[in-house]
Amino acid sequence: MSDTNIYRVQPSWKREGTIDNETYLKWYADSINDPDAFWGEHGRRIDWFKPYTKVKNTSFEGDVSIKWFEDGELNISYNCIDRHLEKRGDQVAILWEGDNPAEDRKITYKELHEQVCRLANVMKKHGVRKGDRVTIYMPMIPEAAFAMLACSRIGAVHSVVFGGFSPDALGGRIVDCESTFVITADEGLRGGRTIPLKENTEKAIDIAAKNFVMVKNVLVVRRTGGKIGWATGRDFWYDEELASVEPTCEPEKMNAEDPLFILYTSGSTGKPKGVLHTSGGYLVYASMTHQHVFDYHDGDIYWCTADVGWVTGHSYIVYGPLANGATTLMFEGVPNYPDQGRFWNVVDKHKVNIFYTAPTAIRALMGAGDEFVTRSSRSTLKLLGSVGEPINPEAWEWYYNVVGEKRIPIVDTWWQTENGGILITPLPGATDLKPGSATRPFFGVKPQLVDNEGNVLEGVADGNLCITDAWPGMMRTVYGDHKRFIETYFSQYPGRYFSGDGCRRDADGYYWITGRVDDVLNVSGHRMGTAEVESALVAHDKVSEAAVVGYPHDLKGQGIYCYVTLMDGEEPSDELRKELVAHVRKEIGPIASPDKIQFAPGLPKTRSGKIMRRILRKIAEDDFGSLGDTSTLADPGVVDDLIENRQNKH
């Protein structure tokens, strides 16, 4: 074993059914040697109206076609609700903890069934049909999950848009998938502050209309009772509508490859892409990873702190846990409200067994001091998880030693929106842990490291992380743009899925994700394209040009550093800096707030006009001693000015 600390789970920690290392190795080999047999068997973990006779039909070559269980028929909401009713109808399905610690709700599987059926009937009443796209722009309240499940019940395709996104971002997403039905709330509530969701929705609808997409109906959940605008005939109150329909609704029979959802995510270029996931393979993969990665057992209280606006919320708050009949905790608030002990208070209050969060939250809470943690008991916890960005070993050790009191394994799970479920991860009863490593591939996942020329790297190596064969949960296409799907993921290293991440493999075959190697930023676990921030900046009338790069940030993982060239006659000022920050927040949302803005009279460009980001990254990192070759620049002089006026002087 290599130099870092190794953590091994105690045999007494394991329960019946916990996968041990021998089983992991056997199942992994089976999944690679005979994927048809392996997934043919595990595909039956969910219920099918019509069983599949074919399992895997996938190709990463040419046109790239991914089909799993292709002649099977099922319904996702049936699998997440109806099939549990007999055995666990009165068990809590969704355990909701409000932003305000005095508020909570418990929704049993029976109640979930009725809520989802009613909402499905409301959508049908308003003309929503199989295949239609429905946009969900919601706070973290149970109705967000009801909405997703109701779509799946009638075969509508949901597009959940994170409640922190701006009207522009929401409008663009409504337009891209031509969605005419929106589900939202009057206002959201986070950390004691309200978010004007309905007002944002109205602005987004106007933007959509200018792009010839006419939203027909808006269903509005009463969350705060705040004052909102209203368009009679278009807008309907959620509670009034639900009361007016039948409490049961037959689940639609869906083909395994019928779309389940679209989720927009950022890439290196252009607008966010609509990642399309389908039904059968997605649910098999989400439920199987949820069970084995978190060692989920019947009766466990499971909490993933993500927002349903991100893929982690889709797969590990809603679909995976509910397919497994779990109690899934949904949290409306933030880690530091009313204070930095909130997570652990909630763990004690609801007797949480499995807790899954992001490194950015762990780092922030670590900075707040141990007493916020140690004043809680946390005695019910048996597993900790991490996702969204590389976890630095210091944060891992703190999570392990202080939160877990050295008795609880941590699963550091690597995956992406495109993947549908976790790809590289420890299995807690099987895998020895190394702080900072996502360790080994899940069943059916074949990682490969390649150099920039595409040569395959064997053994101990550092390279670009590809996956060489399909797994059931992977995306099928970019909504409405299959060519972009092929170009983005399968063209750089032909015949392989390229993740965009850099990765190292150590002597034990463990994988260590080193972060994005493309122009995608990861700010507090939120994915963002540098191109999106740049286009927001140049949309400001005083800006002529902008280049955006990431730099290491203690809490956020990466910070956003913007180089901005102003229009002739405009003067740099702190005032203007503030104006630009506010402008980007308005265009994209608060998660895209620039951390540093440097006014730059010129940007380093090649003679053909390409911005040399390598140089900009170095300057942003205050590491300009190693700028490399600048002789190909059209005007090498601009570099001196950039260095002189850098915003990150150490």
**Known binding residues for Mg(2+):** 538, 540, 543
Q: Which residue, 279 or 413, is less far from ligand WTA as judged by CB? A: 413
The distance of closest approach from Cβ of residue 294 to ligand WTA in the complex, given in angstroms and rounded to an integer, is: 14
Distance CA 394, CA 149 (A): 39
Q: Which bin fits 386, alpha (ψ -120 to 50), beta or left (φ > 0)?
A: beta
Residue by residue, DSSP assigns 593-625 as --SEEEE-S---BBTTS-B-HHHHHHHHTT-GG
Task: Give the nearest distance from C-beta 612 to ligand WTA in angstroms.
Answer: 23
**Candidate list 73, 389, 397, 506; residue touching ligand WTA; CB under 6 A:** 389
Decide if residue 416 touches ligand WTA (CB under 6 A): yes
Q: Which stretch binds ligand WTA (CB under 6 A): 16-24, 413-421, 574-582, 596-604?
A: 413-421
Q: What is the DSSP string of 288-327?
A: HHHHHHTT--TT-EEEE-S-TTSHHHIIIIIIHHHHTT-E
Task: Write the DSSP symbol of residue 253.
Answer: P
Q: Which of 434, 138, 91, 486 is nearest to 146 (CA)?
A: 138
Task: Report how far residue 273's alpha carbon sits from residue 500's, in angstroms, rounded to the nearest whole number.
Answer: 15
Out of 7, 38, 415, 479, the only residue in the binding site for ligand WTA (CB under 6 A) is: 415
Q: Which is nearer to ligand WTA, 69 or 443 (CB)?
A: 443
| Residue 412 found at the interface with ligand WTA (CB under 6 A) | yes
Please tell me whether residue 165 binds ligand WTA under the rule CB under 6 A: no
For ligand WTA, the closer CB: 305 or 499: 499
Q: Least separation, in Å, of the C-beta of 613 and ligand WTA?
A: 17
Show the tokens assigned to 488.
């983005």
Tell me if 538 sits within 8 A of 544, measured CB to CB: yes
612 forms part of the interface with ligand WTA (CB under 6 A):
no
Do residues 167 and 225 touch, judged by C-beta distance below 8 A? no
Q: Is 521 in the site for ligand WTA (CB under 6 A)?
A: no
The only residue of 279, 324, 417, 488 in contact with ligand WTA, by rule CB under 6 A: 417
* 388 near ligand WTA, judged by CB under 6 A: yes
Stretch that binds ligand WTA, among 169-177, 386-394, 427-435, 542-550 (CB under 6 A): 386-394
Only segment of 130-138, 196-204, 381-389, 572-580 that touches ligand WTA (CB under 6 A): 381-389
In the complex with ligand WTA, the residue whose CB is nearer, 143 or 176, is: 176
Q: How far is the CB of 553 from ligand WTA (least distance, A)?
A: 15
Which strands, in side-by-side order, build the sheet including 447-450? Answer: 456-457, 447-450, 461-467, 497-505, 511-516
Q: Residue 180 or residue 522: which is nearer to ligand WTA going by CB?
A: 522
Return the range that interacts with ligand WTA (CB under 6 A); candidates 20-28, 59-67, 288-296, 382-390: 382-390
What does DSSP assign to residue 419?
A: G
Binding site members? 190-193, 312, 336, 388-390, 412-417, 501, 516, 524, 527, 538, 540, 543, 585
Which residue type is seen at 548?
V
Q: Write down the least CB distance from residue 310 to ligand WTA, Å.
A: 6
28 binds ligand WTA, rule: CB under 6 A? no
Q: Tell the smallest beta-carbon distance from residue 623 to ligand WTA (Å).
A: 21
Q: Is 265 in the site for ligand WTA (CB under 6 A)?
A: yes
User: Considering the complex, what minimum distance in angstroms separates the CB of residue 135 from ligand WTA?
Assistant: 19
d(CA 519, CA 549): 8
Q: Print the SS3 string covering 116-130.
A: HHHHHHHHHHCCCCC
**Contact string 95-124 vs ligand WTA (x = CB under 6 A):** ------------------------------
The binder of ligand WTA chosen from 142, 267, 390, 441 (CB under 6 A)? 390
Binding residues for CoA: 190-193, 312, 336, 524, 585
Task: Between 291 and 565, name the residue whose CB sits nearer to ligand WTA.
Answer: 291
Restricted to residues 285-324, the positions that interact with ligand WTA (CB under 6 A) are 310-312
Contact 426, 433 (CB under 8 A): yes
Whole-number Å distance between alpha carbons of 514 and 520? 13
Among 145, 175, 387, 523, binds ligand WTA (CB under 6 A): 387
Q: Taking CB under 6 A as the criterion, which residues in 447-506 touch ligand WTA?
A: 499-501
Q: Tell me the torsion sign for CA atoms 464, 470, 472, 476.
A: positive
Per-residue tokens: 607: 């003679």
The span from the CA of 355 to the CA of 404, in Å, is 10
Q: Which residue, 54 or 617, is less far from ligand WTA as judged by CB?
A: 617
Q: Which stretch binds ligand WTA (CB under 6 A): 21-29, 226-234, 248-256, 383-391?
A: 383-391
Residue ranges in 497-592 assigned as alpha helix (H) = 530-538, 574-587
The phi, psi pair for 112, rounded to 5°, reads -60, -40
Q: Which residues of 213-250 are buried (b: 16+ CB within 10 A; e: fewer)?
A: bebebbbbbebbeeebeeeeeebbebeebbeebeeebe
Q: Answer yes or no whether residue 202 interacts with ligand WTA by CB under 6 A.
A: no
Residue 337, exposed/middle/buried by CB under 10 A (0-12, 13-18, 19+)? middle
What SS3 state is found at 45?
helix
From residue 321, how far is each of 291, 297, 400, 553 by CA, in Å?
A: 8, 11, 24, 33
Residue pair 269/519 in contact by the 8 Å Cβ criterion:
yes
Question: What are 47's two structure tokens?
Answer: 């219920």
Minimum CB separation of residue 474 from ligand WTA in Å reads 13
Question: Does position 438 bind ligand WTA by CB under 6 A?
Answer: yes
In angstroms, what is the minimal distance from the CB of 267 to ligand WTA? 10
Is residue 354 a contact residue for ligand WTA (CB under 6 A)? no
# binding residues, ligand WTA (CB under 6 A): 23
Residues contributing to the annotated binding site for ATP: 388-390, 412-417, 501, 516, 527
Interface residues with ligand WTA (CB under 6 A)?
265, 310-312, 387-390, 412-417, 438, 499-501, 513, 515-516, 522, 527
